[in-house]
Amino acid sequence: MRAALVDRLRANGIDDERVLASILVVPRHHFVDEALASRAYEDAALPIGHGQTISQPWIVARMIAAVRHGRELGKVLEVGTGCGYQAAVLAGVAREVYSIERVRPLHELARGRLRAMRLPHVRLVFGDGMLGLPSAAPFDAIVVAAAGLKIPDALLQQLAPGGRLVAPEGGTRQRLVMIERKGAHNWVRTELEPVRFVPLRPGVLL
Ligand code: SAH
């Protein structure tokens, strides 16, 4: 089923074979409730509790391929761990993955699921990802999995020169936005396709 999902992603324009290889090995059904496991290889978002969702595989692949841009990735930051699926896919294409979640029970859930997969180079952090993770910055890539009206400035500052950030932007109408940091004071913005994400919210929930 996973191979069929990868074929579908490829047919739908995902051409980064490293990303597809990572999707091929990550058991998405481990990241959703047992009752939904039979739907884990549909190319669809699914509920994970606390009003949040596991992102659609195509979106996960699209965002990671966009920030990777064919490069080997060193340090990567994900904002919005959710159930941890995208962090596990990122683990297949980056040397070090940091992922922040603001909802404590989801952070704990992701921790349990990723522990079972033994990915020592993935570090999960409980906190407000709108502030980024200054202690681990700068990042070669930043992937934001929740939509804000504007991309937080802290994240743009924590992008390494030459690095890329991808994030959904907007309220009821959202668009995926890619930002490339060309230099200390130079960020270049490209708008990608319309998307639908859960909202990016400040602060934490215990
Ligand atoms: N990356 C997930 C998608 C999770 S949905 C996947 O692999 O499918 C987006 C997540 O972002 C939600 O869990 C939500 O709680 C979280 N989120 C929203 N605002 C946040 C913030 N400011 N900091 C950290 N996480 C945030």
Cβ of 131 below 6 Å from ligand 1 = no
pLDDT computed for residue 64 by the predictor: 98
CA of 42 to the centre of ligand 1 (A): 21
Q: What's the pLDDT band for 90 if we cut at 50, 70, 90?
A: very high
pLDDT computed for residue 121 by the predictor: 97
For residues 198-206, average pLDDT: 97
Cβ of 26 below 6 Å from ligand 1 = no
For residues 152-180, average pLDDT: 98
Q: Which atom of ligand 1 is nearest to the CA of 80?
A: 11
pLDDT computed for residue 3 by the predictor: 97
pLDDT computed for residue 57 by the predictor: 98
CA of 101 to the centre of ligand 1 (A): 6
pLDDT tens-place string over residues 16-67: 999 999 999 999 999 999 999 999 999 999 999 999 999 999 999 999 999 9
pLDDT computed for residue 170 by the predictor: 97
Q: Which atom of ligand 1 is nearest to the CA of 203?
A: 22
For residues 152-181, average pLDDT: 98
- Which residue has its alpha carbon closest to ligand 1 atom 2? 82
pLDDT computed for residue 8 by the predictor: 98
CA of 187 to the centre of ligand 1 (A): 24
Q: What's the pLDDT band for 6 if we cut at 50, 70, 90?
A: very high
pLDDT computed for residue 173 by the predictor: 97
- Which residue has its alpha carbon closest to ligand 1 atom 19? 200
pLDDT tens-place string over residues 102-140: 999 999 999 999 999 999 999 999 999 999 999 999 999
Cβ of 109 below 6 Å from ligand 1 = no
pLDDT computed for residue 2 by the predictor: 96
Q: Model's pTM, two decimal places?
A: 0.98
pLDDT computed for residue 129 by the predictor: 98
CB 6 within 8 A of CB 17: no
Residues 57 and 164: their CA atoms lie apart, in Å, by 20
Q: Which atom of ligand 1 is nearest to the CA of 205?
A: 15
CA of 99 to the centre of ligand 1 (A): 9
Q: What average pLDDT does the chain have?
A: 97
